[in-house]
Amino acid sequence: MFNIFKPDNKYDAKRQKANKDIVKLINQYIDKYPEQRFIQILWNLGIIQQNKDGEILDRYCEEPWITLMRIGGNNEE
């Protein structure tokens, strides 16, 4: 029987690496700009964005490697 919760190790490893790379970028930004608040960092890195009408974009289902590419990171395999 098909188990939707069965992990796909290669896919999960790619997701986990991208997540860690995003955290590294955030940590680098925190070190460079210690005066900024966390939410400011997320905005300034482009992790949180808004559309032309000022509404926050819903990126809930965006894969982390897409986020990483969008914010200028690198996710080499």
18-22, 45-49, 73-77: least confident range: 73-77
User: Average pLDDT, stretch 58-68?
Assistant: 96
**CB-CB contact of 43 with 29 (8 Å):** no
Closest-CA residue to 46 (of 21, 74, 71): 71
- Would you kindly state where each structural domain of the chain is located, as residue ranges? 9-70
Residue 49 confidence (pLDDT): 96
Of the given ranges (31-35, 63-67, 71-75), which has the lowest mean pLDDT? Answer: 71-75
Helices (H), 8-74: 9-32, 38-45, 64-70
Instruction: With CA atoms as reference, report the closest residue to 66 among 19, 30, 26, 28.
Output: 19
The residue ranking higher by pLDDT, 47 or 11, is 47
